[in-house]
Structure 1
């Protein structure tokens, strides 16, 4: 399900530069651009790898994911794709985006009541329509289409909130080669135990869905594999003063949140540079 923190956030500045690809079920496609914004700049080597961005509950209608995808494409010089894994029905309408007044606001009883009545219940059909088992099938089908039609040899996945939990599950498959997980929604510990690719984690200071106790538990699981055949490289970065959603819907007017958003983006770039080679 969701929580009040999952519908808080701000719009990023700028306009998306990519395209919606009908041949890929309405996915957003961001290409690296040269100094001439009308020219695509991708080497043969870079054309063999791509990034899949899994959005938060707002899906493609919230432009932030597209802005982030465009920036990743330019920095990594490769294609970035955002699948419509909510099948045209995002979990939460963009009109419900709320703006927190500080980085780590405590949710009151009244906040929860309002959320349940005005967002939670109305969004329930969308959550059922895109429950994890169903959304995962859409992502799997999308990845298979990409590999068949685009012939990518390396795929990375980055996920935020709902997409972060989805990225955890795909990190336990053979479909991707590396993963970045940003303030994920809750997920069963067994899914962390199944991880088989390098992962980096961008963690909020205050996170209702993924509290520090869970984050430490997951780190302990990955650490326990050191020296074993199934060990995969990992890292965790904690961002003080931030709340769930900071890497996708940051309030850039708060200096520490702006800095955390930028650092989490750099964390993503550097991880894929390191692992998708």
Structure 2
């Protein structure tokens, strides 16, 4: 998992969350449900899980987005508290998203603020109950428990930065039916050949983790995988798509339109 100043920059989305907090196993979860009249026929067997960035569930943004997704899709959207109430970055430490000139270095003051934040928060991301290994393990148990307790057969996941990396960590466990991966905080090209569910990738023009070169290489790897399967007369690999939003940097924004569009094709 990699972090940069863009990972801890942003704005608070307008809106008041309309869902509720529930428990799934030992995990606190925000549940956004569609209005009864808008509930999809597949809602009893399909659902969406939203994996947050390093600000976790205390920041209202993922709750507001979950409400929007639930309304648009007609499905329940579950947002787990990935960090058990102790996210690496606190709400009050969010840095302004005011440096958007592509190709230019981060201002010294922003980089200094990032280093200061990391000095206090980095240890918790590598040791203790919120180490990356333990967070990813909790999320696997969460998805498995959600499916078992609620009788859900198809789980679509959307993840942002840290949450995108969390989705990729679930590849070996075959618990997802679809995913939207937004500027992931970690990516290994070797993972491509093991993905067994449809994926939609949200990438940006400038990204220190998954920049255009790596995104293009990953897309080419997906295409090569499909070509090999066709040549060998093997089953067609899962669908995929890559969308790059020009003029944007890592952590630039959430794209709810792409998310709902993808899940309508792969979950409903």
With the length of structure 2 as denominator, give the TM-score of the two structures. Answer: 0.89
The CA RMSD over aligned residues, in Å, is: 1.9
Give the gaps of 5 or more residues in structure 1: 35-39, 249-263
Matched, 1:79 2:85: no
Deviation at 1:44, TM superposition (A): 4.7
Aligned to 1:162: 162
Deviation at 1:199, TM superposition (A): 0.4
Q: 2:238 aligns with which of 214, 232, 235?
A: 232
Give the gaps of 5 or more residues in structure 2: 230-234
Deviation at 1:87, TM superposition (A): 2.1
Deviation at 1:20, TM superposition (A): 1.0
Whole-angstrom distance in 2 between the partners of 1:122 and 1:192: 34
Q: Secondary structure of the equivalent of 2:247? A: strand
CA displacement 1:99-135 (0-9 Å, x = unmatched):
122434631455334321x111100232124333211
With the length of structure 1 as denominator, give the TM-score of the two structures. Answer: 0.86
Moved more, 143-152 or 190-199: 190-199
Aligned to 2:215: 215
Aligned to 1:252: none
CA displacement 1:235-256 (0-9 Å, x = unmatched):
00111111111234xxxxxxxx
Alignment size in residue pairs? 256
Moved more, 66-75 or 205-214: 205-214
Alignment of 1:124-163 (within 5 A): 124-128=122-126, 129-163=129-163
Q: 1:30 aligns with which of 20, 28, 32?
A: 32
Q: Given that residues 57 and 82 in structure 2 are in contact (C-alpha distance below 8 angstroms), is that contact kept between their aligned partners in structure 1?
A: no
Aligned to 1:255: none
Deviation at 1:230, TM superposition (A): 5.8
Q: Given that residues 90 and 126 in structure 1 are in contact (C-alpha distance below 8 angstroms), is that contact kept between their aligned partners in structure 2?
A: no
Alignment of 1:116-127 (within 5 A): 116=115, 118-127=116-125
Q: Given that residues 56 and 160 in structure 1 are in contact (C-alpha distance below 8 angstroms), is that contact kept between their aligned partners in structure 2?
A: yes
